[in-house]
Structure 1
Amino acid sequence: MTVKNVAEPGQTLIFDADDTLWENNVIFERVIDEFLDWMAHPEFGRANVRSILDEIEAANATVHGYGSKVFLRSLGECVERVRQRVATAEELARIAQWARAFDGHTVELIPGVAETLTELGNRHELMLLTKGDSEEQQRKVDASGLAEHFRSVHIVSEKDVRTYEGLVRDRALVPEATWMIGNSPKSDILPARAAGLNAVFVPNANTWVLEHGALDPADGRVLRLETFGELLRHF
């Protein structure tokens, strides 16, 4: 199957949330910038400390999942790894202050998202699929004001092939008429394609490094766009 310029009405469009509908990782990056400044070390430059942090985050994501709580845990472990000692109470208190950046009371919608969802909802069934801490993700969904656009909202601990296969089964979706739309090759595009769905890749410059991945340029069932609003030209 080759992606057409205009999809027929009545498709099922499944949307990622973080960094697809609203900005998310840029908040983490701002905190990381402050953290790297704070962690100034005579033997470790910023790049080395960031590399250590990325390694710790990857390990913690596998064991503990995603979200700000796991991220703050990773910062504490990074302090101990770099300074080669247990973090002091003062250091842990400094890390705890960064929790305020993730209160979830407001979210910054990506330009054109609300209007695009409104129009797409007139022609297609829309669903939301997001991963992370369920309470934290629900706060963001509520704060976004977008929940009314979706037939259903699904918050999962991981977005892998089994997640997509389970969603297809539980919702009786037709894979050939279903599209996963997101910014993450690792979580949105590659596993959705492996489950037989179509996919739309909408890149975000602030995508988390651990969500990167190589897409097959020859895969005709992956539509690549530059902006969220371009969905209206195809759906």
Structure 2
Amino acid sequence: MSTPITTIGFDADDTLWQNEQFFQLTQERFADLLAEFAEPDHLMERLLAAERRNLGHYGFGIKGFVLSMIETALEVTEHKVPGEVIAELLAAGQEMLQHPIHLLPHVGETVAALAAEFELVLITKGDLLDQERKLAQSGLGEFFDAVEIVSDKTPATYARAFAKAPHGPAGAMMVGNSLKSDVLPALAAGAFAVHVPHDLTWVLEQAESPKGAHRFFELPDLGGLPGLIDGLRR
């Protein structure tokens, strides 16, 4: 490693704490509510299409997800969806926005240990208020030197987030569960990238692994991160 790592960026949802499982549970509830109007597989296809086309309007997060469910419900029922169903979808979204935070394995001790030696930056997509709430409830906020809540993650996002590091992106590492958002654009910006897969990763966050990239690494969980970094120093 020619350039020492001084800064570590972390994704939040499904890297530090559980997130996607609550979306999937709500989708199951959505399918039950619309069961008389559409088969589950067809309904999920329509919902995914709505989410994909709405990203540019609503961005990532729960609010956009709820609006996409309502739009899909209107489509599959030809605008005859009962008001009670809309109310249920709104209530489901509110429940998601209030759900307790559950840290993933080894997160607490790893973040605390690395914070003693490195500058830590949280780089996450989603609703501003919701992400701030989750960070506050996680108990991890004190360990981060900076927090970036962004509309999307591109190479320019990481170049900006790591610009203040002593060596810029070259001396930074991004850690996350999404190959599409956390790994590929961070590598393109010149940073190290560590993929920590999660069992539940949204289909729109999936991408091909950059096998052979010399700054790319993969770990089963965050517990191995300090050891990985120590190994890079040798």
Matches within 5 A, 1:11-90: 11-41=6-36, 44-90=38-84
Which of 149, 172, 189 aligns to 2:183? It is 189
| Residue 123 of structure 1 pairs with residue 121 of structure 2 | no
Q: Per the alignment, in what secondary structure is the counterpart of residue 66 of structure 1?
A: coil
Q: Which position in structure 2 is the counterpart of 1:132?
A: 126
For residues 11 and 168 of structure 1, the distance between their equivalents in structure 2, rounded to whole angstroms, comes to 10
Q: Which position in structure 1 is the counterpart of 2:203?
A: 209
Residue 165 of structure 2 contacts residue 171 of structure 2 at CA under 8 Å; is this kept in 1?
Answer: no
Q: Which position in structure 1 is the counterpart of 2:147?
A: 153
Deviates more, 1:103-112 or 1:55-64: 103-112
Give the deviation of 1:173 after TM superposition. 4.7
Q: Which position in structure 2 is the counterpart of 1:96?
A: 90
Q: Which amino acid aligns with 2:154?
A: D
Residue 201 of structure 1 contacts residue 223 of structure 1 at CA under 8 Å; is this kept in 2?
Answer: yes
Residue 148 of structure 2 contacts residue 161 of structure 2 at CA under 8 Å; is this kept in 1?
Answer: no
Deviation string, structure 1 residues 77-103 (Cα, Å, up to 9, x no partner):
111121122543222111111023223
For residues 141 and 75 of structure 2, the distance between their equivalents in structure 1, rounded to whole angstroms, comes to 41
Residue 195 of structure 2 contacts residue 217 of structure 2 at CA under 8 Å; is this kept in 1?
Answer: yes
C-alpha root-mean-square deviation of aligned residues, in Å? 2.0
For residues 154 and 134 of structure 2, the distance between their equivalents in structure 1, rounded to whole angstroms, comes to 22
Deviation string, structure 1 residues 179-220 (Cα, Å, up to 9, x no partner):
000001111111111111110000001111111111221112
For residues 166 and 157 of structure 2, the distance between their equivalents in structure 1, rounded to whole angstroms, comes to 14
Q: Which amino acid aligns with 1:82?
A: V
Give the deviation of 1:230 after TM superposition. 1.2
Output the TM-score relative to the length of structure 1: 0.90
Residue 104 of structure 1 contacts residue 143 of structure 1 at CA under 8 Å; is this kept in 2?
Answer: no
For residues 99 and 42 of structure 2, the distance between their equivalents in structure 1, rounded to whole angstroms, comes to 33
Q: Which position in structure 2 is the counterpart of 1:225?
A: 219
Count residues with an aligned counterpart: 229
Deviates more, 1:116-125 or 1:174-183: 116-125
Output the TM-score relative to the length of structure 2: 0.91
Q: Per the alignment, in what secondary structure is the counterpart of residue 12 of structure 2?
A: coil
For residues 55 and 214 of structure 2, the distance between their equivalents in structure 1, rounded to whole angstroms, comes to 31
Identity of aligned residues (%): 36
Q: Which amino acid aligns with 1:180?
A: M
Which of 158, 170, 176 aligns to 1:164? It is 158
Residue 165 of structure 2 contacts residue 172 of structure 2 at CA under 8 Å; is this kept in 1?
Answer: no
Q: Per the alignment, in what secondary structure is the counterpart of residue 165 of structure 1?
A: helix
Q: Which position in structure 1 is the counterpart of 2:232?
A: none
